Every structure is written in structure tokens, then in C-alpha cells.
Amino acid sequence: MTPLEQCVKQLRSLIAHPTVNPGGDEVTLCETLAGQLRELGADEVTVSTVDRADASPGAYVYACFGPPTLLLNVHLDTVPANSGWQRDPFVGEATEDRIYGLGSCDIKGAIACILTALRNTEPGGLGVLFSGDEENGSRCVPHFIANTDASSIRQAIVCEPTARCAGLRHRGVLAYRARYVGKGGHSSKADYMEKPMVELAKLALKLDAMAQSDLDLGPPDMRGLCMNVANFTGGVAYNVVPDIGELAFSLRPAPGFDQEDFERRLETARLESHSKIEIEQLTDHRPFACGDDVRIRDLVGAYTEEFVGLDFWTEAALLQAAGIDAVVIGPGDIRQAHCADEYVLIDDLAWALEMFTGIITRHAS
């Protein structure tokens, strides 16, 4: 069996482990991967469990081949299967040029490539982290950083489907919920009652105005805030004034974003809309920018078509904040991720297998 055939077989096995987040079983897959990493000669392998946002167990497996200075990180959880699947999302159907299955692109294909590369190399100075809970909370990587001696690690490759490009920076994600609590009642008295939905609508318009004023903010390839006024909730019927209204909104700031200034402006918008509105932050994922891009370019430059900024958030931001220079790269294209009939091209797996084989071999020498 060729290394690429090994890789395809490995990926189909990974797809068959449902790790949907929320609800999937990350622990069993981590224990399975731990056994494989031990068979591959890892000096140390640990499986750790972490409570996810819904209190279900998330997990990650970490393996060392000698004292690690380079970390390979891939998340093993997936989003739920989107509507419209024409194939079984957990079979790993193989055709002549692609592998279909939930997580094939995002991003179990990278796990398969790394394991296959480890089978065909003699790794050294390497850490491998297959981590859960990336798609719905990101609690595993912070737990790894806080509870693992990673002081020797200097660089990290964080795998996401990047269409063979390498991400040296990407946007963050900030999400909020605004809430107005009043006293509702019969709509025949609406003219003289509090209006939660109206007050929140005023805030929504101010948020949109903020976004419009910041369209030129950020580096050339990441202009604007990507402000998304996502939904209003609260009303129960046309003839009932609601007691409570809620507004969900988010933005995706670029590296260099002044979050303190934004929060001051947000507070001004809140007070100008109505002082009874309360705003709660739901997500605080900061933007990512590589610290030492010269060394990172040397690490992956032979295998990438382009160094770029990415519009989506990754856990490279968490590793970079911990002092580990990171880059984002992996097989697949983000346009296939989270879609019905998700797939990864076999040519992309071949490319990634060559990349990881080369990087592992060079790093061990």
C-alpha cells in the first residue's frame, strides 16, 4: 500500500468516528489516536478531557517525539451535518479524485496526512496535538496551554483548509448579546409602554453606522469590521408588547484592531439607544498575526503557493498569544467546509502528505 493509499484509508476511518460538536464523541477518537501514536513510537502520549460549553466531555491527545520545538495541531471535531447531504456523512465515500464525509475537509484530512507521514519518517523534536472543541467553544487548546509544559515549543503549524496557502494572519471574532428587559402587555396600550424591540432596533442601526464608518479600517486585505446584526428575539404575537427583547450581533476584527476603543464606542451607542439595554459578550476570539514570519516562511515556504491573510478565525491565535509562532495551513478549501457533501481532493491530501513528510524529516535532522 502506498503512503497516499494509507492516508486515504486513515481518513475514511477518522470520518467514521462521529465527533460532531456539540454532541459527538471526542474522547473515543482521542483514545484511538493515542494508541496509534504510541505504535508510531511517541515517547509520551496523554489524553485529556475538558468540559465543553454544554458540559459534555471534550478531549485532546498530545504526543511528543523527543523534546518538542515544533507542534503540529489539528482539531478533530466537526460541525453538525448541514442540510442537503446526498451521501452518508460518516462513511468516507471515495471517488476517483476526492473523499466525501463530514470533517474530510475541515479538517480530519490533515490528521490522516500527519499520521501517515509519521509512519514513513523518524520524527524528532516534534509535538502532535489533536484537539477537540474547536467548532463550538475552543476550550481544549487553552487547557493544553495551561496544563502542559510547552516551554520548549517555538513554532506551530495549525491545520485548517487553506487551499494550499499559508495564513500568517487572520480576523478575530467578537460576539455579543444585547438585552432589554421591560414590562410588556396588551398592544392596545403600546403607545405608552416600553418598547424593547424598538430600542434594540435603534442600537442595531447604530451598529450598522459604526460598521459603515469603519469600512476602510484594517490592513489592505482585511478592510472593515464584518459587522453582522444577526437576529432579534422576544416577540410572541402581534398583539403582545414583549417583556424582553434580545439582539445578537458580531464582528470580525483584523489584526491591529483597537478593541478598547470599539468597546467605548459600543457603550456610547448603547446609552444613546437606551440606558436599560444591557450588553453581554459571548465570544472573544482575538485576531492573529504571526510574530516571526521569517522563520515561519522558512518552515513551510517550499510547500505553499502563497502567504495570505485569512477571513476565518483559528486557534493559531491562542498559540501565538502563548508565545508560540504559528502558521495556518492544511489540505482542502474552506469553501468546501461546513457544506453538504463536504469533500477533500485526493490531490490535496497528496500535497499535504508531501509537506508533512518533508517538514518532519527536515525538523528531525
Beta strand pairing status for 126-131 and 70-75? parallel
The span from the CA of 176 to the CA of 210, in Å, is 15
The span from the CA of 116 to the CA of 111, in Å, is 9
In angstroms, the Cα distances linking 272 to 57, 159, 203, 277 are 42, 43, 8, 10
pLDDT averaged over 10-residue windows placed end to end, the chain, 365 residues: 97 98 95 98 98 91 98 98 96 97 98 98 98 95 96 97 97 98 94 95 98 95 95 93 97 96 97 97 95 91 93 96 97 96 98 98 94
In angstroms, the Cα distances linking 348 to 41, 105, 326, 351 are 27, 10, 21, 5
The predicted-structure confidence for 180-238, as pLDDT tens digits, reads as follows 999 999 999 999 999 999 999 999 999 999 999 999 999 999 999 999 999 999 989 99
The span from the CA of 13 to the CA of 108, in Å, is 10
| Residue position matching grid coordinates 484530512 | 109
φ/ψ of residue 189, rounded to 5: -110, 15
Cα–Cα nearest to 169, from 270, 312, 277, 2: 312
Q: Give the amino acid at 197.
A: M
pLDDT at 211: 97
Q: Which three cell numbers stand for residue 201?
A: 432596533
pLDDT at 305: 75
Global pTM exceeds 0.85: yes
Spell out the residues 6+ positions from residue 57 whose beta carbon is closer than 8 angstroms to its own. Answer: 26, 27, 49, 50, 51
3-state secondary structure of 90: coil
Eight-state DSSP code of residue 22? T
DSSP count for the chain of H helices, then E strands: 9, 17
Going along the chain from its start, the domains and CATH numbers come out as 3-170+287-364 (3.40.630.10), 173-285 (3.30.70.360)
pLDDT at 293: 84
pLDDT at 365: 86
pLDDT at 167: 97
pLDDT at 55: 86
pLDDT at 291: 87
First-to-last CA distance in the chain? Answer: 26
The span from the CA of 231 to the CA of 279, in Å, is 14
